[in-house]
Amino acid sequence: MPVYGAFTILVNESDQGRRLDAVVAAHLPGCSRSLAVNLITNLQILVDHQAKKPGYRVKCGDKILGRIPDPAQVEYKPEPIPLQIIYQDSHIVVLNKQAGMVVHPAPGHSRGTVVNALLYHCPDLEGIGGKIRPGIVHRLDKDTSGTMVVAKNAAALENLAKQFKTRSVQKIYLALVYGELCTDEGIITLPIGRHPVHRKRMSTVSRKGRSAETAWRVRKRLPGITLLELTLKTGRTHQIRVHCSAMDHPIVGDQVYRSRKWLKDTAGSYSGESSSLFTALKSIPRQMLHAWRLGLIHPHSGERMIFKSPIPEDMAELMEKLEGRGQRAQGKGHRAQGAGHKA
């Protein structure tokens, strides 16, 4: 989080020749490069009282003057939205987030979010940042279900944020992916960054990829589809979805990183039922990804706690359907073999 208010940076020899936006971001705690660019463009950061572009190369002795304005306060309204609360006390609340629910209000999603629901269900929320609001420490994608923790006060928020930053929080997911993996476990260490062409997607071939590590192991094998348990060592945007796609085993139902080839091949593995199965798999409304297990240190008591969310109904039903069809196809194969032997 950036430090708000006025600031002055005196450029020394070590910053000589660097871009203005890079120098500002480097010297101000919590100030991102994009925030620096925005402030420079809007004339809220000047060099020797003169406007400069973000790419201006600073000189030794330049005086950078500016102010990071206080964040605009947004009023979030409580809404009586059903929540599956796993655990709560006066410091934290742990949820089993349902798929299709956005975590935090944003443009296009001002209502119906986890935050709106928490404001209704948790009347004991304390002030965070001068407002009565829950502290969102981490997020799950809209269409990812499962376990997430929320801070109820500023002290808990700071403690949990540190745990996530130091990667001491255990994050284990379950996912249904296309294909049959040839080994039972492995580790993916491909870096992740913005896609070079599709800016709303992430990619392992980004020019500015950040290190990312995902450990996986097979929990169940179905014809053409595998249930994986995945442990996040880092927390990059769309990390599991991107890594699974990079392994050529995209997550079933993923509309962004999916592969139509896998969809057809999987449906074809179920013999005469391929057409109906293709339709069923194609109509899945969300990626089959679930935040199953979350382990952390309680921010007040210091106790190690582990929270789990059961596998959601849509994933369980799909597994049951696939397993049943696979067994029927296997039965037909046995009968055909028996008939041939008898002849």
pLDDT tens, residue by residue, 61-80:
999 999 887 755 556 789 99
Band (pLDDT 50/70/90 cuts) for residue 178 is: very high
**Considering just the CA atoms, what is the radius of gyration of the chain in Å?**
25
Residue 18 and residue 2 in contact, taking contact as beta carbons nearer than 8 Å: no
Which candidate, 94, 137, 164, 156, places its Cα nearest to that of 305? 94
Which candidate, 316, 297, 72, places its Cα nearest to that of 164? 297
Residue 290 and residue 83 in contact, taking contact as beta carbons nearer than 8 Å: no
Residue 151 and residue 160 in contact, taking contact as beta carbons nearer than 8 Å: yes
Residue 313 and residue 304 in contact, taking contact as beta carbons nearer than 8 Å: no
Indicate the burial class of 271 (C-beta count within 10 angstroms; 0-12, 13-18, 19 or more): middle
* Residue 109 clears pLDDT 80, i.e. is over it: no
Indicate the burial class of 279 (C-beta count within 10 angstroms; 0-12, 13-18, 19 or more): exposed
* Residue 247 clears pLDDT 90, i.e. is over it: yes
Q: What would the mean pLDDT of 308-329 be, rounded to a whole number?
A: 83
Helix (H, G, I), strand (E, B) or coil at 90: coil
Give catalytic residues, as residue numbers.
141
* Block residue for tokens 């330049």: 62
* Block residue for tokens 């997430």: 148
Band (pLDDT 50/70/90 cuts) for residue 342 is: very low
What one-letter code names the amino acid at 188?
I
Cα distances (Å, whole numbers) of residue 46 to 1, 6, 9, 61, 161: 22, 12, 11, 14, 32
**Minimum mean pLDDT range among 85-99, 114-128, 135-149, 243-257:** 114-128
| Selected residue with higher pLDDT from 229 and 267 | 229
pLDDT tens, residue by residue, 112-165:
999 999 999 998 887 675 566 788 999 999 999 999 999 998 889 989 999 998
* Residue 25 clears pLDDT 80, i.e. is over it: yes
What one-letter code names the amino acid at 139?
R
Pairing of strands 304-308, 193-194: unpaired
What's the token pair of residue 117? 């629901």
What's the token pair of residue 70? 């206080």
pLDDT cut 90: percent of the chain above it: 59
DSSP string, 284-338: --S--EEEEEEEEE-TTT--EEEEE-PPPHHHHHHHHHHHHHHHHHHHHHHHHHH
Domains parsed from the chain with CATH numbers? 5-68 (3.10.290.10), 85-164 (3.30.2350.10), 170-294+311-325 (3.30.2350.10)
What's the token pair of residue 243? 């890594």
Q: What is the distance of C-alpha 74 from the center of its chain?
A: 23
Supply the pLDDT for residue 205. 86
Torsions phi, psi for 123 (to 5 deg): -70, -10
* Residue 338 clears pLDDT 50, i.e. is over it: no
Separation CA 5–CA 265 (nearest Å):
58
Judge if pTM exceeds 0.85.
no
